[in-house]
Structure 1
Amino acid sequence: MSIDEVKRTPYAPATHGGAGDVRERLIDHWFPCTAVDAAVGTPAGSGRNEKAIFPWFASRPIAQARAAVLTTLLPNDAAHRQSVEAAVRHGSAEAFDRLAEAVTKNYHGRTPVVVDIFSGRGMIPLEAARVGATAVGTDLSPVATLAGRLLADWSMRDWSAEAPLPFESDVPAVLDFADTHRLVSDTRLLHEEVGRRTRQALAKFYPANQDGRRPWGYLWTVSMPCDQCHRRFPLIGSLVLRHPNSRKQDLGQAMSLITVGDTWKVEVVDGPANGQPTYSSAGKKGKSARCPFCSHVHTLETVKAKGFAGQYVDEPLLAADFANGDGDAKKHFRQLRDEERRAALSASPDELPKAGQLSAIPDEAIPPGNVHTVMASGYGYTNYGQLMCDRQTLLFGTLTEHIRACHEEMLDAGVSAAYANALAGFAAATLMRGLRYATRGARLRCHGKPDGSGNNNVQVGDLFANEAVLSFQFDFFEVGIGKGPGTWAGLTETGTTPLATHLRGRRGTTARLRRENAMALPFRDGTVDAVVTDPPYYDMIEYSDVSDYFYVWLRRIMADVQPDLFAETIGTEVAPNLQNKDDEIIVRRVYNGGVRHDREFYERSLSRAFHEARRVLRPDGHLVVVFGHSDPDAWLRLLGALRDAGFVVTSAWPSRTETSNTGVASIKVTVTIGCRVAAPQRPIATAAQVDREVATAVKAAVKQWDADGLALTDQLMAAYGPAMEVYGRYSSVLLPNGERANLDRYLTLARTSVRDATALKLDQLPLETFDAPTRFAVFWQRLYGRTDVPKGEARFLAQADNLRLEDMRGALLTESKSGFKLRLDGPATFSDRSSTFEIARVMAKAWDDGGTEAVATVLAKSDRQANDAHLWAVVAEIVRQLPASDPVAKALSAVQRNAGTIGTMIQYAAAVADREADARAQLTLPFEEDLS
Structure 2
Amino acid sequence: MSTSPTATSAEGNGSSGRADQAETLTRLIDTWFPCPEVDEAVGTPAGSGLSEKALFTWFASRPIAQARAAVLCSLLRDTPENRSDVQAAVLQGEKAAMLRLRTRITEQYGAKPPVVLDIFSGRGIISLEATRAGATAVGTDLSPVATLAGRLLADYPLRDWSAEPPLPYGLPADIPEEEPKSSLASSRPRETAVNAQIGLKGLVGERRLLIDVRAILAEVGRRVADLVLPLYLGKPELEGMVPWASLWAVTIPCDGCSRRFPLIGSMVLRHPYARTNDAGQALELIVDGQTWRPRVKDGLPQQQPTFSAPVGKRGKSARCPFPNCGHVHNLDVIKAKGFADQYADAMLAVAEVDPETNRKIFRPPLPAEVAAAALAEDLTPTSLFQELKGCPNEAIPKTAGVDARQYGYLTYGSLMNSRQAVLFSTTAKVIAELYRELCEVVSHDYAGALCSYAASNIARQLRRATRGSRKESRGKPNGSEQNRVYSGDVFTNQSTIAHAFDYIEAGPGEGPGTWCSVSSSLSNALRKVLLENRFTTPPARLRRASAVALPFRDATVDVIVTDPPYYDMIAYADSSDLSYVWFKRALREAVPDLFDGSLDGKDGLQDKAEEIIVKGRGAKGHGDHRTRDFYESMLARSFAEARRVLKANGHMTVIFGHSDPEAWKRLLAALADAGFVVTSSWPSRTETAVTGVATISVTVSIGARVAPPNRPIGIAAQVDAEVINQVKTCCRTWDRDGLALEDQLMASYGAALQLVGRYSKVITPDGASVSLEHYMTLARRAVRDAVALRLDESPLEIFDPHTRLAIFWHEVHGRIDVPKGEARFFAQSDALRIEDLRGRILTETKAGYRLRHDDPGQLTPASSTYEVVRGMAASWPGGTDAAAACLTAAERIPTDAQVWALVDWLATKLPTSDSVAVALAAVKRNRASIQATAAIGGTNHIAATPLSLFEESS
TM-score by length of 1: 0.93
Residues 585-604 of structure 1: pairs in structure 2 closer than 5 A: 585-589=612-616, 590-591=619-620, 596-604=625-633
Is structure 2 residue 398 aligned with structure 1 residue 368?
yes
Please tell me the residue identity of whatever aligns with 1:721: G
1:208 aligns with one of 227, 234, 244:
234
User: SS of the residue aligned with 2:794?
Assistant: coil
Matched position secondary structure for 2:938 = helix
Partner Cα separation in structure 1 for residue 655 and residue 212 of structure 2: 36
Equivalent residue of 1:448, what SS?
Answer: coil
Matched with 2:212 is 186
2:819 maps to 1:785: no
Residue aligning to 2:511: 484
What's the CA shift for 1:52?
0.3
SS at match of 2:303: coil
How far off its partner does 1:686 sit? 2.1
Say which of 150, 162, 170 aligns to 2:189. Answer: 170
What are the residue-to-residue correspondences of 1:431-450 with 2, within 5 Å?
431-450=458-477
**Contact 2:724/2:779, CA 8 A, preserved across alignment:** yes
- Give the corresponding residue for 1:819: 848
1:633, distance to aligned residue in structure 2 (A) = 0.7
Residue in structure 1 matching 2:106, options 104, 112, 119 = 104
The one-letter amino acid paired with 1:613 is A
Deviating more after overlay: 114-123 vs 446-455 = 446-455
Instruction: Find the counterpart in structure 2 of residue 120 from structure 1.
Output: 122
Shift of 1:912: 3.0
Equivalence for 1:667: 696
Q: How does 1:300-379 map to 2 (within 5 A)?
A: 300-324=331-355, 328=358, 330-348=359-377, 350-356=379-385, 357-370=387-400, 373-379=401-407
The structure-2 alpha-carbon separation of the partners of 1:505 and 1:237, relative to structure 1 and needing over 3 Å to count, comes to: same
What is aligned with 1:404?
432
Is residue 723 from structure 1 mapped to residue 758 from structure 2 by the alignment? Answer: no
Deviations 1:728-771 (Å, cap 9, x if unpaired)? 22112112332211221112222222222224332252212112
**Of the candidates 646, 649, 662, which is equivalent to residue 620 of structure 1?**
649
Unaligned runs of 5+ in 2: 15-23, 171-187, 946-954
* Residue correspondence of structure 1 range 251-650 to structure 2 within 5 A: 251-281=279-309, 286-293=315-322, 294-324=325-355, 328=358, 330-348=359-377, 350-356=379-385, 357-370=387-400, 373-412=401-440, 414-506=441-533, 507=535, 508-573=537-602, 576-589=603-616, 590-591=619-620, 596-650=625-679
Q: Which residue of 2 aligns with 1:846?
A: 875
**Stretch deviating more after TM superposition (246-255 or 311-320):** 246-255
Q: State the 1:386 CA deviation.
A: 0.4
Q: Comparing 619-628 with 85-94, which one deviates more in the overlay?
A: 85-94
Amino acid at match of 2:656: F
Deviation at 1:375, TM superposition (A): 1.2
Shift of the 463–349 alpha-carbon distance from structure 1 to 2, 3 Å rule, reads farther
Amino acid in structure 2 at the alignment position of 1:805: I
AA of the residue aligned to 1:753: A
Question: Does residue 153 of structure 1 match 2:155?
Answer: yes
Deviation at 1:49, TM superposition (A): 0.5
- Root-mean-square deviation (CA, aligned residues, Å) is 2.3
Q: Does the CA contact (< 8 Å) of 2:688 and 2:694 recur in 1? A: no
Aligned residue for 1:257, secondary structure, equals strand
Partner of residue 37 from structure 1, selected from 36, 39, 46: 39
Paired residue secondary structure (1:796): helix
C-alpha distance in structure 1 between counterparts of 2:97 and 2:87, whole Å: 9
Q: 2: CA distance between counterparts of 1:662 and 1:588?
A: 19
The whole-number CA distance in structure 2 between the counterparts of 1:176 and 1:248 is: 33
Bigger shift: residues 454-463 or 150-159: 454-463
More deviation in 747-756 or 128-137?
747-756
Question: In structure 1, what is the Cα distance between the partners aligned to 2:610 and 2:313?
Answer: 38
How much does 1:184 deviate?
Answer: 0.9
Structure 2 distance, partners of 1:897, 1:251, is 60
Deviation at 1:108? Answer: 2.2
Matches within 5 A, 1:71-82: 71-82=73-84
Secondary structure of 2:527's aligned partner: helix
**Aligned pair in 2 of structure 1 residues 810, 345: CA closer, same or farther (>3 Å)?**
farther
| Closer, same or farther: CA 764–517 of 1 in aligned 2, 3 Å | farther
**CA positional deviation for 1:721:** 0.3
Match of 2:266 in 1: 238
Change (3 A) 1:883 1:166: same
Deviation at 1:500, TM superposition (A): 0.6
Deviation string, structure 1 residues 448-500 (Cα, Å, up to 9, x no partner)? 22333333222111111011111112111111211112111111111111111
User: Aligned partners of 2:692, 2:424: CA distance in 1, in Å?
Assistant: 36
Of 803, 813, 833, the match for 1:804: 833
1:430 maps to a residue whose letter is: N
Taking the aligned partners of 1:894 and 1:104, their CA distance within structure 2 comes to: 66
**8 Å contact kept, 1:622–1:674:** yes
Q: How far, CA to CA, are the matches of 1:306 and 1:915 in structure 2?
A: 65
Question: Contact between 2:403 and 2:496, CA under 8 Å: does it hold in 1?
Answer: yes
Give unpaired runs (5+ residues) of structure 1.
1-10, 918-932
Q: How far 1:700 moved relative to its partner? A: 1.4
Q: Distance in 2 between matches of 1:343 and 1:714?
A: 60
Distance 2:490 2:932 in 1: 66
Cα distance in 1 for partners of 2:717, 2:345 equals 69
Distance 2:834 2:316 in 1: 32
How far did residue 664 of structure 1 move? 12
In structure 2, distance between residues paired with 1:247 and 1:854? 57
Label 1:177 to 1:665 Cα distance change in 2 as closer, same or farther (>3 A).
closer
Shift of 1:640: 0.6
CA gap of 1:662–1:65, structure 2 versus 1, over 3 A, is closer
Asked if structure 1 preserves the Cα contact closer than 8 Å seen for 2:61 and 2:690, the reply is no
Q: Provide the rounded CA distance (Å) in 2 between the counterparts of 1:347 and 1:785.
A: 60
Q: What is the identity, as a one-letter code, of the residue corresponding to 1:700?
A: T
TM (norm. structure 2) is 0.91
1:67-119 CA distance string (max 9 Å, x none): 11111111122221111111111222212211111111001222211111110
> What SS class does the counterpart of residue 120 from structure 1 fall into?
coil
Aligned sequence identity (%): 52
- Where 1:651 maps in the other structure, the secondary structure is strand
Instruction: Report the Cα offset of residue 901 of structure 1.
Output: 3.3
Deviates more, 1:130-139 or 1:547-556: 130-139
Change (3 A) 1:385 1:19: closer
SS of alignment partner, residue 584 of structure 1: coil
* Structure-1 separation of matches of 2:524 and 2:75: 32
Rounded to whole Å, the distance in 2 between the matches of 1:398 and 1:662 is 32
C-alpha separation in 2, matches of 1:452 and 1:832: 58
- Aligned 8 A contact 1:291 1:297 in 2: yes
Q: By how many angstroms is 1:815 displaced?
A: 2.2
Equivalent pair of 1:13/1:679 in contact (CA under 8 Å): no
More displaced 10-residue stretch of structure 1: 588-597 or 788-797: 588-597
Provide the secondary structure at the position in 2 that maps to 1:118: coil
Q: Residue 718 of structure 1: CA displacement?
A: 1.1
Output the CA distance in 2 between the equivalents of 1:888 and 1:723. Answer: 38
What is the SS of the residue equivalent to 1:476? Answer: strand
- Deviation, 1:265, is 2.6
Distance in 2 separating the partners of 1:880 and 1:251: 53
CA shift in 2, pair 1:203/1:764, >3 Å: farther
Instruction: Map Cα deviations across residues 197-233 of structure 1 (whole Å, 9 max, x no partner).
Output: 1221122212123223332211111111222322222
Mean alpha-carbon deviation: is it higher for 203-212 or for 705-714?
A: 203-212
Does residue 875 (structure 1) correspond to residue 903 (structure 2)? The answer is yes
Aligned to 2:173: none
Q: Distance in 1 between matches of 2:848 and 2:247?
A: 36
